[in-house]
Amino acid sequence: MTALNRIPIAERDVQEEKLPLLQVRGLRTCFESHYGSVTAVNELDLTVYPGEVLALVGESGCGKSVTAMSLMRLVEAPGRIESGQISFDGRDLLTLSTQEMTELRGAEIAMIFQQPKGSLNPVKRIGSQIAEQFERRRGMPHAKAWKLAVGLLERVGIPGAAEKAKAYPHQLSGGQAQRVMTAIALALEPRLLIADEPTTALDVTVQAQILRLLTERCRSHQTALILVTHDLGVVAQVADRVAVMYAGRIVEEAPVETLFANPSHPYTRGLLNAIPRGNHYSESRLEEIPGTVPVLGRNPEGCGFADRCQASYAGRLNQCSTQTPPTTRIAQGHTTRCWIYHSGDAQ
Ligand SMILES: Nc1ncnc2c1ncn2[C@@H]1O[C@H](COP(=O)(O)OP(=O)(O)OP(=O)(O)O)[C@@H](O)[C@H]1O
Ligand SMILES: [Mg+2]
């Protein structure tokens, strides 16, 4: 397997010594449709520590964005958070009032959305959109806020930031819009940053620059980052831990080195095996695994991966298609949702 080509970072902390910043337990988010209820996020547990980068990976439609939107409490009808707990610094976000949640968003938890242009106000200069974070939320006078906005645009790598601050979103390229979104997200120095495919639209150089900016922020300000990505190259470079999602559930979670060296869940193994030897992770996409993703909600009882499972033991365990495997801890910080481990058959 290709050696991990990590962006150099400061020595990592021992997470166990810290208190979690975010603890999600049993999160379930559903969408009502003509065909019934679709469970997009199911029994989701997630723990994130200050200063760490947690990558959330999985193929299209597995529930990554719905998870991110649920954490922000931004799921809109026909979607709904049905149950669970989202504990952020000891407060359960699901019990906060709308007003309390609005105050928390941006200031303590910020998100970089998958569709950057749609998230910017088309009739407002980008400088104003950043500056208003400081004006509204910090009561700063406009001139000072504008200066900070220009500084942020410089930091996210917008050339000629002072001039560009006067531009409107339609005058930006996709990459520039993503940088502006990054600037807005970083403005109030949130403690948790959720970045949903923040670099998909960017060329490789800009992608590396944004990722460096985000990870440096994590190390210097102890900001926690949940990085949603398809790109295993990005995971290898910047993540501390990885959560692999499949059909609405987290099927494996491990420190990044462990995941690449010792993947346990047949789905994770399939993902990594799908990468041609000698290739860089960055050239591979997760869609390469054979078979199709199950329709969410069709088989809520069994393991979502049972039909596609390539492992020799697939089918050997009756419960694969009839009961959802529980999360099993197989090593320090390494969990998996597969019957083979639960039943003690793992080699
Ligand atoms: N507005 C919606 N209405 C109905 N169902 C939805 C809606 N949004 C999401 N879903 C359901 O939730 C599932 C997960 O969607 P989500 O956007 O989280 O996937 P994703 O993992 O972010 O995919 P991608 O990698 O393509 O961004 C979808 O497969 C779909 O079934
Ligand atoms: Mg998505």
pLDDT at 166 over 90: yes
In this structure, which long-range contacts are made by residues 89-96, counting pairs with CB atoms below 8 Å and at least 24 apart in sequence? 89/21, 89/191
d(CA 230, CA 252): 15
Name the residue with higher pLDDT: 345 or 140. Answer: 140
**Cα distance between residue 303 and residue 229, in whole Å:** 23
Is 30 near ligand 1, meaning CB less than 6 Å away? no
The pLDDT, as a whole number, for residue 292 is 61
**C-alpha closest to that of 67 among 114, 34, 103, 99:** 114
* Band of residue 275 on the pLDDT scale cut at 50, 70, 90: low
Predicted confidence (pLDDT) at residue 283 exceeds the cutoff of 60: no
pLDDT (0 to 100) of residue 203:
77
Is 56 near ligand 1, meaning CB less than 6 Å away? Answer: no
3.40.1010.10, 3.40.50.2300, 3.40.50.620, 3.40.50.300: CATH of 1-108+190-288: 3.40.50.300
CB proximity list for 344: less than 8 A, separation 6 or greater: none
Predicted local confidence at residue 193, as pLDDT: 97
Q: Which of the residue ranges 16-20, 69-73, 185-189, 288-292 would you say has the lowest mean pLDDT?
A: 288-292
pLDDT at 5: 46
Q: How confident is the model at residue 82 (pLDDT cuts 50, 70, 90)?
A: very high
The predicted pLDDT at position 279 comes to 46
Confidence of residue 315 (pLDDT cuts 50, 70, 90): low
Q: What 8-state DSSP symbol labels residue 203?
A: -
Closest CA to 138 of 189, 101, 89, 88: 189
Short-list 110, 31, 37, 35, CA closest to 66: 31
Q: Is 40 in the pocket of ligand 1 (CB under 6 A)?
A: yes
Q: Where are the domains of the chain?
A: 1-108+190-288, 121-188
Per-residue model confidence (pLDDT) at position 128: 97
What pLDDT, on a 0 to 100 scale, did the predictor assign at position 313? 60
pLDDT value at 299 more than 80: no
Residues with CB under 5 A from ligand 2 (ion): 64-65
Residue closest to 174 by CA, chosen among 202, 205, 210: 202
CA of 157 to the centre of ligand 2 (A): 25
pLDDT value of position 344: 57
Q: Whose CA is nearest to atom 11 of ligand 1?
A: 40
Distances (CA, A) of 213 to 198, 248, 313: 12, 30, 44
| pLDDT score for 3 | 40
